[in-house]
Chains A and B, each alone.
Chain A
Amino acid sequence: MSEENRGLDSIVSHRFGRARYMIIVDVENGEVKNIKAELNPGGQAASGAGIKAVQKLVDEGVKAVVAGAFGPNAMTALENMGIKYYQLQGVTVKEALGKLSL
């Protein structure tokens, strides 16, 4: 999750539900491919932001997500939808992928 759209140089957001963008990448055999940015529908949501974000991840077929903090509802939803979540912030998407050896 990120507040900006600068591809792999985007900085991971401190938040999940209301982060502005989802930077979505495919990782195959340690190689990063197919980078795209989607607006997070939770970003502008007055309510239920976390869940709207999770729904979007599900629709995009995402298997793992990185952000600085996840609300309890979002965590439950992610767990139930089988999406792994990792807490990291302030690093770039590239660095995060490296750190988590995803």
Chain B
Amino acid sequence: MILSVTGGKGGTGKSFVATNLAVELAKKYSLVLADLDVEAPNDHILLGAKLQREEQIAIMFPFIDYSKCIKCGVCGRVCDTGAMLISREGLPYVIPRLCSGCSACYYACPAKAIISGKRVVGKSYITPVKIGEVNFTLVTGMLNEGEEHVAPVVVRSKRRALSLKAELYLIDTAAGTSNTVAAAMDKSRLAIAVTEPTPLGLHDLELILKVAEALGIREKWVVINKVGIGPHDEHVKLAEKMGAEVVAEIPYSRDVVETYVVGAPIVASKPDTEIAATFKYIAQRVAEVTG
């Protein structure tokens, strides 16, 4: 079963919830935690783990065989991102940064003058995590700095995560509501949206729940984090309106802030706190859905 932790607004505590929930669930299930916040992956930091088994993620990059090129300019016309420029003499030239690797030029070229090379845009890692007696696998996707094409890094890292054998796959998406967040969440049985009691949190909660709906995700839950910094009755109302259940409310606490600093999940470092108990409860609820 695949479940996603998401939220829309940055900084609500997605990674905090995802990593702690992963530790709790891994007590019962074989689990893969996929950190698909590829622009700014943090789960390994919150878990105090060193990334391992790096694999490069490359997208198609067109090489032009000028000896075969008939200077028809079709490649330039089908290029969706404008990465293919045609020189005065009719010769095509690719701007690497802009190329999204869609291969349209390759398929369109009537002279078969385009050869598929590759361009590395990111990396994925597989890291075994051990917290106390608990074991699980962390898969991390990371976009290379300066690269703009997030989607292939998300899609391939997700594929790598799903290729590992596990009973549960827990996906930590990025902040935001774009199609790359949707790609991370896609095909989840359950989406957990983490929000905070601020108008910004409320605004973004609605957006992310809409994305979940558009993807046809059957079960949507809400976790209200940092409870106490402001009123959250609007958030509860919104969740209800959008068919999502508020499964947990996590109070704002310096204990949590400290875990960010120290790099140890609260369920392991402070197992007797109320917050740790909340994660046990959420894990139980997930177990009910898994069946």
Interface positions of A (Cβ within 8 A of B): 47-48, 50-52, 54-55, 58-59, 61, 72-73, 76-77, 80-81
* Contact between chains at A80 and B82 (CB < 8 Å): no
B167 to chain A, nearest CB (A): 43
Interface positions of B (Cβ within 8 A of A): 76, 81-83, 85-88, 93, 95, 97-98
**Besides A54-B85, A55-B76, 4 new A-B residue pairs in contact (Cβ under 8 A), listed by A number:** A47-B81, A47-B82, A76-B95, A80-B85
* Contact between chains at A80 and B95 (CB < 8 Å): yes
Cβ 8 A contact of B83, one of A51, A58, A59, A72? A51
- Which chain A positions have C-beta within 8 A of B85? 51, 54-55, 58, 77, 80-81
A64 to B82, CA, bound (A): 21
In the complex formed, the residue of A with least CB distance to B94 is A80
B85 to chain A, nearest CB (A): 6
A58-B95 CB under 8 A given contacts A47-B82, A51-B82: no
B119 to chain A, nearest CB (A): 14
In the complex formed, the residue of A with least CB distance to B96 is A76
B187 to chain A, nearest CB (A): 29
Cβ 8 A contact of B81, one of A48, A72, A76, A81? A48
Pull 28 A–B residue pairs with CB atoms less than 8 Å apart, ordered by A.
A47-B81, A47-B82, A48-B81, A48-B82, A48-B98, A51-B83, A51-B85, A51-B95, A51-B98, A52-B82, A54-B85, A55-B86, A58-B85, A58-B88, A59-B88, A61-B88, A73-B82, A73-B97, A73-B98, A76-B95, A76-B97, A76-B98, A77-B85, A77-B95, A80-B85, A80-B95, A81-B87, A81-B93
- Which chain A positions have C-beta within 8 A of B97? 72-73, 76
A58-B87 CB under 8 A given contacts A51-B95, A73-B97, A80-B93: yes
- Which chain A positions have C-beta within 8 A of B98? 48, 51, 73, 76
A51 to B94, CA, bound (A): 11
In the complex formed, the residue of B with least CB distance to A72 is B97
* Contact between chains at B95 and A73 (CB < 8 Å): yes
B196 to chain A, nearest CB (A): 34
A72 to B88, CA, bound (A): 22
Cβ 8 A contact of B86, one of A48, A58, A72, A80? A58
- Which chain B positions have C-beta within 8 A of A55? 76, 82, 85-86
**8 shortest interchain CB distances as A-B pairs:** A48-B82, A51-B82, A77-B95, A76-B95, A73-B98, A55-B85, A58-B88, A77-B85
